[in-house]
Amino acid sequence: MATKRIIRVLDINLSEEKVATHHREDLAPFIGGIGVASKLFAELVDAQKDPLDPEQPIILANGPLSTIFPVVTKTVAVFRSPLTGEWGESYAGMRLALAMRMSGFQAIVIRGRAKKPVYLSISDHGVRFKDATALWGLSVSETGSILRGLEQGRGHRSCIRIGPAGEKCVSFANVNVDTYRHFGRLGLGALFGAKNLKAVVIYGEKDEPIENLAQYNRVYKDIYDKAVTTDIMDKYHGIGTAINVNGLNNLNGLPTKNLQQSSFEQAEAISGEAFAEQSLIRKMACAGCPVGCIHIGLYRREFGPGFDYESKNLSYDHELIFALGSFLGMSSQEKIYALIDAVEELGLDAISAGVLLGWVTEAFEKGILTEEQLGVKPTFDQTEPYLEILQQLVQQPNEFYRVLALGSYAAAQRYGGHDFAMTLAKNEMAGYHTGYANILGQAVGARHSHLDNAGYSVDQKLKDKSAEEKVQALVKEEKWRNVLNCLTICLFAREIYQVETVLSALDAIGIKSNEAELNGLGEEIFKIKHNTRLRLGYDFNQLAVPKRFFETVSVTGNLNPATWQEMLEYYKSIIRE
C-alpha cells in the first residue's frame, strides 16, 4: 500500500500523569481505525493480568477518511473486555472522530490508574489532567452538563464519560459519547472506572489541507449523492433500525420474554412505526454525516403528585426496543423509555442490561432466584422491579448483586439457569433470532457481536444455501468489515462503500491501494484479532450455546444443536487453514 502517512499516537499514563506522542510509520499500512487499534492492542495487552488491571490499555482510533467523507463517522475503542475476559471492540459516532481529527491524533492509548478521580482534556495544544472528584458519583447527564460548561471547543468538541456503573466496574458498563451515542458493548466503562477516569474531553483546531481538492470534491460528491439521493440510506433516516421490530416479529425473529417466544403480541405498540408516530420529536446526525439516523423521542415522566412532569429527550433504536422492550415483555413505549432513561443515566449497556433482566425474570419464575435475594419480584411487563434491580446491581450492596454485575453468563454459572441465560461466548445476545448463522456469527466473531459478520443477514439472504456456504459468507464478511472499520465507516453505509468507492476515496487523499491489498489487510487484521483472542483465553471447545436457542422457532425454522456444531467444526477448519 503506497503511502507516506505517519500515524500519530498519543500515549497517556494516568499513574504518572505523563504524556508522550509517538510517530509510527510502521502503522501506516494498517490505514487507521481497527487496523491501527488492533496492532497497538496486540502489542500492549497483558494476557496474564486481569482486564481491569491498571496497566491494561484502552485504545481509541479513527481513520484517514474520518468526517471528511460522508458517513465516515466512527471511532473505535479496543480493550480487554471485563465481560468476556477477551477481545473488546466497540464503535461510537457523534463528534468524537471529528474532535480526534482536529486534535491531530489518529490514535490514543490510555494506561495506568489515576491516584484520584480525574478527567482528561485533550487538544492540539496538549493534555491536561483535571480533578474529577466532584464529578464522581454523578449520572451521565449531570457529568456531561458540567463538563460542557467547563471546557472550550463547542461545536467540534467531544465529551465521553461514564456513569455510576462504570465507577463501580460493572462488567457491562458503557461509555457515553456526546449524549446520544455510546461505546456500548463489552464493558469499556468498567475500564474507565478501574482507572479512576471519569471522562475524556477532546477538541482541537488543527487544519489538514487536501492536496488534490478537485479530485476530492468529485469523489465526495459521488458518495454524498449516493447517501442522499438514492434509497440506500432511506431506512436509517426514515423510521430507523426500529423498523426491524415489526419485520422480525412477522418472521418469528424478534426475541421476546427471554426468547421464550420469537414473536410478541404487543409488537405493534412498540414498533418503529409506533414510536415515529407517537413520540419521535427530531432526528440527529453524527459529525460528517448527511443522513441523520439518530431518532430522538420525548419521554414524559411524572415525578410528583399534582401533575408534576418532566420531559427528557432519549434516543431509541431496534436494539433498545428489543432488549428493554420485547425481551422483557414491555407493552408500551412509556415503559421502554423508563428503562432507557435508567440505563442511560447509570451508564449501562442497554443490550446486556435487558438480556440480564430477562434471565433474572425467568430464573425467579422457576425458583432459581428468590425475592429475598432480589429484594423485588421481577415480572415481565412490569417496570418498577427492573428499575430497582438496575440500581442495585450498580450499587452492589451484597454478594448477589456483585455477581449480577458480572453479567448473565457469570450469574448463571453461579446460580444456575444456563439453558436460558441468553449469551454467546459470554456476551449477551443481540436482537435477532434468525437461524444458525446468527448464532455462530456472534459466538465466533471477534467481539461476539451481530455486527462482526452479519449472521442475521446471512440467515435470510442465503436461506437456501448450504451450511458450508453460510460459514464461508460469515468469514468473508468479517474480513471485509475489518477493512471498512480501518476507515471507521459507519456500517449503515456499507452498501455505499463498495471496493471501488473505498479505493477512490483513499486515492483522493493520496493513499494508493488496490482490491488485493485491501483484502489482504482484512485478512491480516482477522489473524491479529484471532491470535490475540486465543492468547486472552478464547477457546472454540468451550463454546456452549444455551438450549433456548434451539427450543424457540426462528426466522429459518426450528434449529438443532447438531447442525450448529457441524457449522462450528467447519468454521474451525477454515480458520486452521
CATH number, position 409: 1.10.569.10
419 and 508 inside one domain: no
420 and 277 inside one domain: yes
Q: What is the pLDDT of residue 2?
A: 46
Q: What is the pLDDT of residue 4?
A: 59
Q: Which of 424, 442, 477 is the last residue of a domain?
A: 424
Bridge partners of 183, per DSSP, are 175
Residue 437 lies in domain: 427-576
Q: Which of 424, 449, 468 is the last residue of a domain?
A: 424
323 and 440 inside one domain: no
55 and 170 inside one domain: yes
416 and 436 inside one domain: no
pLDDT per residue as tens, the chain (577 positions): 544 589 999 999 999 999 999 999 999 999 999 999 999 999 999 999 999 999 999 999 999 999 999 999 999 999 999 999 999 999 999 999 999 999 999 999 999 999 999 999 999 999 999 999 999 999 999 999 999 999 988 888 999 999 999 999 999 999 999 999 999 999 999 999 999 999 999 999 888 889 899 999 999 999 999 999 999 999 999 999 999 999 999 999 999 999 999 999 999 999 999 999 999 999 999 999 999 999 999 999 888 888 788 999 999 999 999 999 999 999 999 999 999 999 999 999 999 999 999 999 999 999 999 999 999 999 999 999 999 999 999 999 999 999 999 999 999 999 999 999 999 999 999 999 999 999 999 999 999 999 999 999 999 999 999 999 999 999 999 999 999 999 999 999 999 999 999 999 999 999 999 999 999 999 999 999 999 999 999 999 889 999 999 999 999 999 999 999 999 999 999 988 6
| C-beta separation of 403 from 420 below 8 A | no
CATH number at residue 489: 1.10.599.10
Give the whole-angstrom CA distance, residue 556 versus residue 253. Answer: 9
Number of domains in the chain: 3
Give the whole-angstrom CA distance, residue 486 versus residue 461. Answer: 26
Look up cell 468538541; give the residue: 157
Count of Cβ atoms closer than 10 Å to residue 334 Cβ: 14
285 and 178 inside one domain: no
417 and 474 inside one domain: no
56 and 96 inside one domain: yes
C-alpha 470: how far from chain center = 24
In a domain, 217, yes or no: no
CATH number at residue 12: 3.60.9.10
In a domain, 2, yes or no: no
| C-beta separation of 431 from 323 below 8 A | yes
Count of Cβ atoms closer than 10 Å to residue 59 Cβ: 26
Q: What is the CA radius of gyration of the chain?
A: 22
Look up cell 478527567; give the residue: 119
Give the whole-angstrom CA distance, residue 361 versus residue 388. Answer: 13
In a domain, 484, yes or no: yes
489 and 403 inside one domain: no
In a domain, 506, yes or no: yes
Q: What is the pLDDT of residue 152?
A: 85
274 burial (CB, 10 Å; 0-12 / 13-18 / 19+) is buried
In a domain, 457, yes or no: yes
In angstroms, how far apart are the furthest CA atoms of the chain? 69
Give the whole-angstrom CA distance, residue 105 versus residue 101. Answer: 6
Look up cell 423510521; give the residue: 239
| C-beta separation of 501 from 227 below 8 A | no
406 and 451 inside one domain: no
In a domain, 207, yes or no: no
In a domain, 337, yes or no: yes
Q: What is the pLDDT of residue 305?
A: 83
Q: Which of 403, 424, 445 is the last residue of a domain?
A: 424
For residue range 363-378, list pLDDT tens digits in order: 999 999 999 999 999 9
In a domain, 228, yes or no: no
CB neighbour list of residue 127: distance below 8 Å, 6 or more residues apart: 10, 12, 19, 120, 121
247 and 192 inside one domain: no
437 and 554 inside one domain: yes
Q: For residue 514, give the amino acid letter.
A: N
For residue range 465-515, list pLDDT tens digits in order: 999 999 999 999 999 999 999 999 999 999 999 999 999 999 999 999 999
